[in-house]
Amino acid sequence: MASTALKKLATGPHDARREEIIRLCSTGRVKEALHGRFREYLWSEPGLFSHIFRACRALPLLRQLHAFAATSGAAADRFTANHLLLGYADLGDFPAARALFDRIPKRNVMSWNILIGGYIKNGDLETARKLFDEMPARNVATWNAMIAGLTDSGLNEESLGFFLAMRREGMQPDEFGLGSLFRCCSGLRDVVSGRQVHAYVVRSGLDRDMCVGSSLAHMYMRCGFLREGEAALQALPLLNTVSCNTIIAGRTQNGDSEGALEYFCMMRGAGVEANAVTFVSAISSCSDLAALAQGQQVHAQVIRAGVDEVVPVMTSLVHMYSRCGCLGDSERVCLGYSGTDLVLCSAMISAYGFHGHGQKAVSLFKQMIAGGAEPNEVTFLTLLYACSHSGLKDEGMSCFELMTNTYGLKPSVKHYTCIVDLLGRSGCLNEAEDLILSMPVQPDGVIWKTLLSACKIQKNFDMAERIAERVIELDPHDSASYVLLSNIRATCSRWEDVRKVRKTMREQNVRKEPGVSWVELKGQIHQFCTGDKSHSRQREIDECLEEMMTKIKQCGYAPDMSTVFHDMEDEEKEVSLAHHSEKLALAFAFLSLPEGVPIRVMKNLRVCDDCHVAIKLMSKVTGREIVVRDVSRFHHFKDGKCSCGDYW
């Protein structure tokens, strides 16, 4: 007993110093750990160098420590040398790391894995692969590192090949490798391989592992298999933020925005905490649905959660408010950020463009450049879109030149489409066609359709016929091209030619997308189709619409019969025009929303010329602000005028 007590007294101070050094290293206080009173102790306990190397975050200090360890003899110990190697790899000094690696006596698998992992982290997959091939023996961690590195670099097919080679060598992947593998299948949209890996997971009993289960669900959802993805998550022992995020994001990305919001509400009701990722998906769903009331509720939760200044959340809020017709709210969110963020500014430029405020978009772009942000291809695309939707030809052409000459960025077909739109709307149809034929990228159906639409606006029907042939040849199953051609022929009262177009559509089994408009009221969406009579308040809607049409006729409204593309009597045409989906939605809104509340209507197609004139006059006779979002932009109607300046 006495000798044990004496032994404790003898070793106590040494143990205390050891613990103190480890504690200092764990909190990043390396210099204090090297203080004079500890330095002598390091000579007798070289194993402590591993803690010091791990805590070191500066190359000059690491090199000094390396020299000190070499002097003390600690560097000759493989365990200590591996930690020193990890230090050099983490700090990016690969020449020193490689030199040390070559000198390590009896290198083990960890030595190889550390160096391979360092090269992968640095993006040098070629050197990592060479080392991998030279390894005398590999373990699961080696294979995991290579599979994860290839997947993170987008080399998904190679990653899948590594997994198959790993299995051939008899290696059993663990939960980390399987997570990377499911991400690889997601990237490839390869649900067949994903199912095979899923079968292996079930046999291995890892299907209830939180990491594996979440990655599996993500794979199914990215491949479009929502039901299987949600089933994988429901099999997990508990739901957490990550698994809920996977379901919400999966539903959003697969077009089930309503389902995403339902699950978000269920998650919050179950007490699962939402994070910034959750809110981005929920806000995106509100944006897709143009559900302003729900979007405002989510925004309130964002503020309570303290993530209202997280840039991705702010960016999604800018998009959501813009898509719901609340440009002022988009501006307020954007102005709440103190710095200059490229993604956030690009979102705001896009919002300005969508609402027809091209000059504001150009002004914000200039502020962004002055703030030190360097624009990318996405920024220029949003800017060119804004210019094309505001008729800013000179500004748009200058931006295109800035993009290509100053910043050296290569325009995609989408950038050229904006320029074609600018030229076409300005009446430069031949110049627009020459650009399409001479541009260095392959033209698609959209760019030719843009020119075809410009031909209709400029009433160049001969050119329109020629361009329409190209468009239909490129995409014979796209209804929009046939509808445009039919409309152009109908404008000239070429009814026989209109019938030929419709006959071709029937033969090709091409169906025109029906016009649909909707209004949100108390969190519920009320949808209307052209000529639809199914709404529960249809009688009231018809009466309101008839009264409204009478009022606007007294202000000079005359139905534009040229926008009815059927050979029918004028009276029939007038009835058809009066029951366009946006007019039905507006009548319902007049009946349902109190005075002073702006009316917001969403439409899946472009607003026709007749409805545009009618809604301007409705805003005048009712004194109401009316916001209409069509397929390409927003129209803000007030006091008989539209924000687009009749340019859309």
Between CA 555 and CA 639 the distance in angstroms is 12
Q: Please count the CA atoms within 13 angstroms of the CA of 595 that sit on its side-chain side.
A: 2
Q: Is 595 exposed, middle or buried (0-12, 13-18, 19+ CB in 10 A)?
A: exposed
Predicted confidence at residue 4, as pLDDT, reads 42
Query: In sequence order, what are the residues at sequence separation of 6 or more whose Cβ sits closer than 8 angstroms to the Cβ of residue 230?
Result: 217, 247, 250
Predicted confidence at residue 112, as pLDDT, reads 94
Between CA 135 and CA 431 the distance in angstroms is 61
**How many of the other CB atoms lie within 10 Å of CB of 124?**
14
Residue spans of the chain under pLDDT 50: 1-11
Buried b / exposed e along 350-373 (16+ C-beta atoms within 10 A) = bbbbbbbbbebbbebbeebeeeeb
Q: Please count the CA atoms within 13 angstroms of the CA of 257 that sit on its side-chain side.
A: 14
Predicted confidence at residue 2, as pLDDT, reads 40
Give the sign of the dihedral formed by CA 409, CA 410, CA 416, CA 419.
positive
Between CA 451 and CA 429 the distance in angstroms is 7
Predicted confidence at residue 524, as pLDDT, reads 81
φ and ψ of 603, to 5 deg: -135, 145
| pTM score of the predicted model | 0.68
Between CA 318 and CA 320 the distance in angstroms is 6
Continuous segment of H or E residues that includes residue 211:
helix 210-222
